[in-house]
């Protein structure tokens, strides 16, 4: 046995030596492969991931929840996470702060202007993403409110034609390209996956927060619970929404003269005064000479 061990020992040492060489070569190969990667992949991306984790850990969970809710209302929750939005907000604030510091260092303004730059620009960097998100939420709510009467009309017509309610929702999703159609499509998918109709429409209310749509969902769920025909409810809701849209259009038309006054006073009246009083002013100046 000792003789066999002596003969096998050099062979085992050679195998281990070759394995160590392979490991060293693979390590060198990985290092060279990392060096061949772009600068953004090697340096910027890992730093960005560390900064992302740091900012996310420092952000209160209540603020992340509010941002997630606004992203959901804006229809952006599937593309942008709350953590990513907060990170972008922090990066923009930092960038605007550095820009303000650079302006102060290069231009040497007065102390009050320097303080204004150092306070105003970072504040703008922090508030601009929030304002943009709030605007997206408002625009999406207005689009849902605008399309709701036509959508309810199509739902009522489809149900009266003998199509089931889920089939009517599918007809709406096929014939409309709008945020409301997208929300109905998501609600339909949830019901197809086994979620009860009440829960699916409660989710629809939470994702939109449009009062008119919430009233429609409430009426629909009550009709479903009491056994009232859905076609009658849809017809009533569609007529009510048409009346509300007509009233909304009248309110917009009533506010229009007040809004027109501002451009009239700012741009048109000065030009009219110059045209009317210009010749008289030149005549008066000549007479005074």
Q: Evaluate whether 128 touches 61 at the Cβ level (below 8 Å).
A: no
When comparing pLDDT for 16 and 239, which is higher?
A: 239
First to last CA, the chain: 133
For residue 140, the model assigns a pLDDT of 96
Per-domain residue ranges of the chain: 57-137, 142-250
HSE-up of residue 118 (Cα within 13 Å, Cβ side): 11
Of 2-11, 73-82, 156-165, 166-175, the range with the lowest mean pLDDT is 2-11
Query: What topology is assigned to 142-250 in CATH?
Result: Receptor-associated Protein (1.20.81)
Q: How far apart are alpha carbons 231 and 237 in whole angstroms? A: 10
Q: What's the count of helices (H) and strands (E) in the chain, helices before strands?
A: 12, 0
- Per residue in 57-111, pLDDT (tens digit) is 888 999 999 999 999 999 998 888 898 899 889 989 999 999 999 999 998 888 8
The model's pTM is: 0.73
Q: How far apart are alpha carbons 108 and 247 in whole angstroms? A: 57
Of 57-71, 146-160, 229-243, 269-283, the range with the lowest mean pLDDT is 269-283
């Amino acid at each position: 046995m000792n003789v066999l061990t002596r003969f096998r020992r050099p062979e085992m040492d050679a195998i281990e030596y070759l394995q160590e060489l392979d490991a060293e070569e693979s390590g060198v190969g990985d290092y060279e492969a990392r060096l061949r990667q772009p600068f953004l992949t090697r340096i910027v991306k890992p730093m960005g991931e560390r900064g992302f984790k740091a900012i996310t850990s420092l952000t209160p969970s209540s603020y992340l929840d509010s941002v997630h809710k606004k992203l959901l209302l804006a229809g952006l929750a599937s593309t942008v996470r709350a953590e990513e939005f907060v990170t972008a907000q922090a990066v923009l604030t930092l960038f605007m702060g550095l820009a303000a510091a650079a302006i102060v260092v290069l231009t040497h303004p007065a102390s009050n202007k320097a303080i204004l730059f150092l306070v105003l620009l970072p504040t703008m960097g922090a508030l601009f993403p929030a304002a943009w998100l709030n605007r997206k939420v408002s625009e999406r709510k207005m689009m849902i409110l605008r399309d709701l009467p036509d959508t309810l009309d199509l739902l009522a017509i489809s149900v009266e034609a003998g199509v089931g309610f889920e089939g009517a929702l599918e007809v709406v999703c096929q014939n409309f390209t709008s945020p409301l159609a997208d929300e109905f499509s998501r609600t339909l998918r949830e019901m197809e996956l086994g979620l009860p109709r009440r829960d699916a429409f409660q989710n629809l209310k939470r994702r939109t927060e449009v009062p008119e749509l919430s009233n429609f969902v409430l009426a629909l769920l009550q009709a479903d619970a009491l056994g009232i025909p859905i076609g009658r409810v849809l017809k009533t809701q569609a007529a009510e929404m048409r009346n509300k849209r007509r009233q909304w259009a009248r309110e917009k038309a009533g506010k229009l003269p007040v809004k027109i006054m501002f451009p009239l006073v700012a741009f048109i009246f000065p030009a009219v005064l110059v045209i009317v009083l210009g010749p008289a002013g030149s005549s008066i100046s000549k007479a005074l000479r």
